[in-house]
């Protein structure tokens, strides 16, 4: 879709991207093009920012097609590790831990809420459930807030209970500050409501094609958010073109 002369790549870029529906979305050609740009250019850094838990990200790290991240923000912001060593990034990790009352207590308190079914997925420092049409989300929020936790509903089907103030955007912001990454070098990308906090950081961003309507509504009119038409990697490529941040001559 885009003809890029990789030898001309002269800009620093840190792509902080959601995985499902974003970096893992799009057609083969678009994936190949974006992954090649990331892998072939040392001036491009990559951060995974996902709702997945770490164990379900590990297979991606062994997939030669997918570029390896410099850092991984997992569990909707509640986990942050080095992409190579997989060790927690300190002191950020300790700060997140200090805001979390523990999975056991959160589960115990939320057990009484009717129609709240827990997801069976790997998770740390968060508890994730399914959204049911008869679920009283106000009750969930009230109990979670009482424990100092936040609640994020996304994709119309997931409910995440997180440490207070922790979300994808918070953890990315702190990480960028720790690494001294200039604001203009950062591009965030996502497709559902649990990505909204990424677009509220003030970094320039792309909502990729096929995104959740609520995310499109919440980010429409924001000057620093580009709403792409193409799915996944295609949308990120469109954003690189739109921001004219990457190549000469496109
Ligand atoms: Mg997604």
Burial, 244: exposed, middle or buried (Cβ in 10 Å; 0-12, 13-18, 19+)?
A: exposed
pLDDT of residue 122: 87
- 63 CB-contact burial (10 Å; exposed 0-12 / middle 13-18 / buried 19+): exposed
245 band by pLDDT with thresholds 50, 70 and 90: low
57 CA → ligand 1 middle, Å: 13
Render pLDDT for 27-60 as a digit per residue (tens, 0 to 9).
999 999 999 999 998 899 999 999 999 999 999 9
User: 180 alpha carbon to ligand 1 midpoint, in Å?
Assistant: 27
| Listed residue (132, 156, 158, 160) closest to 144, CA to CA | 160
Please tell me the distance between residue 200's alpha carbon and the centre of ligand 1 in angstroms.
16
216 three-class SS: helix
Tell me the CA–centroid distance for residue 112 and ligand 1, in Å. Answer: 29
List of residues 6+ apart from 87 with CB closer than 8 A: 81
128 CA to centre of ligand 1 in angstroms: 15
The three-state secondary structure class of 188 is: strand
| Cα 8 to ligand 1 centroid, rounded to whole Å | 31
Topology of domain 101-163 in CATH is: Hypothetical Protein Ta0175; Chain: A, domain 2 (3.90.1070)
Cα 72 to ligand 1 centre (Å): 15
What is the greatest pairwise CA distance in the chain? Answer: 60
Please give the distance, rounded to the nearest whole angstrom, from the Cα atom of residue 14 to the centre of ligand 1.
18
Please tell me the least confidently modeled range out of 10-14, 61-65, 70-74, 135-139.
10-14
Q: Which pLDDT band holds residue 5 (cuts at 50, 70, 90)?
A: very low
C-alpha of residue 17 to centroid of ligand 1, in Å: 9
- Alpha carbon of 154 to ligand 1 centroid (Å): 9
How far does residue 249's CA lie from ligand 1's centre (Å)?
A: 31
Q: How far is the CA of 7 from the centre of ligand 1 (A)?
A: 31
Do the domains 101-163 and 9-95+166-243 match in fold? no
Q: Does residue 3 carry a pLDDT above 60?
A: no
pLDDT at residue 243, as a whole number: 87
Mean pLDDT score of the chain: 92
Ligand 1 centre to CA of 33 (Å) is 20
Tell me how far the alpha carbon of residue 190 lies from the centroid of ligand 1, in angstroms: 6
Centroid of ligand 1 to alpha carbon of 81 (angstroms):
19
**How many Å lie between the centroid of ligand 1 and the Cα of residue 222?**
20
Per domain, the residue ranges of the chain are 9-95+166-243, 101-163
Q: Fold for domain 9-95+166-243? A: Rossmann fold (3.40.50)
Å from CA of 118 to ligand 1 middle? 19
**pLDDT one-digit tens code per residue, 70-113:** 999 999 999 999 999 999 999 999 999 999 999 999 999 999 99
**CA of residue 18 to ligand 1 center, whole Å:** 6
């Amino acid at each position: 879709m885009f003809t890029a002369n990789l030898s001309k790549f002269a800009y620093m870029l840190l792509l902080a991207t959601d995985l499902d529906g974003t970096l893992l979305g799009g057609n083969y050609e678009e994936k190949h093009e974006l992954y090649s740009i990331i892998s072939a250019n040392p001036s491009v850094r990559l951060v995974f920012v996902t709702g997945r838990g770490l164990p379900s990200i590990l297979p991606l790290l062994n997939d030669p097609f997918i570029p390896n991240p410099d850092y991984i923000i997992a569990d909707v912001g509640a986990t942050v590790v080095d992409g190579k060593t997989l060790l927690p990034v300190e002191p950020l990790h300790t700060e997140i831990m200090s805001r979390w009352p523990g999975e056991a207590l959160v589960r115990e308190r939320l057990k009484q809420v009717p129609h709240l079914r827990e997801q069976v997925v790997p998770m740390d420092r968060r508890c994730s459930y399914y959204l049911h049409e008869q679920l009283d989300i106000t009750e969930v929020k009230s109990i979670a807030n009482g424990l100092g936790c936040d609640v994020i509903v996304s994709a119309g089907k997931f409910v995440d209970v997180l440490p207070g103030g922790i979300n994808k955007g918070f953890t990315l912001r702190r990480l960028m500050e720790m690494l001294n990454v200039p604001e203009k070098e950062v591009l965030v990308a996502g497709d559902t409501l649990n990505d909204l906090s990424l677009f509220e950081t003030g970094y320039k961003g792309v909502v990729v094609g096929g995104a959740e309507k609520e995310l499109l509504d919440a980010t429409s009119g924001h000057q620093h958010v580009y709403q792409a038409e193409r799915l996944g990697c295609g949308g990120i490529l469109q954003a690189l073109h739109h921001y004219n941040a990457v190549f000469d001559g496109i």
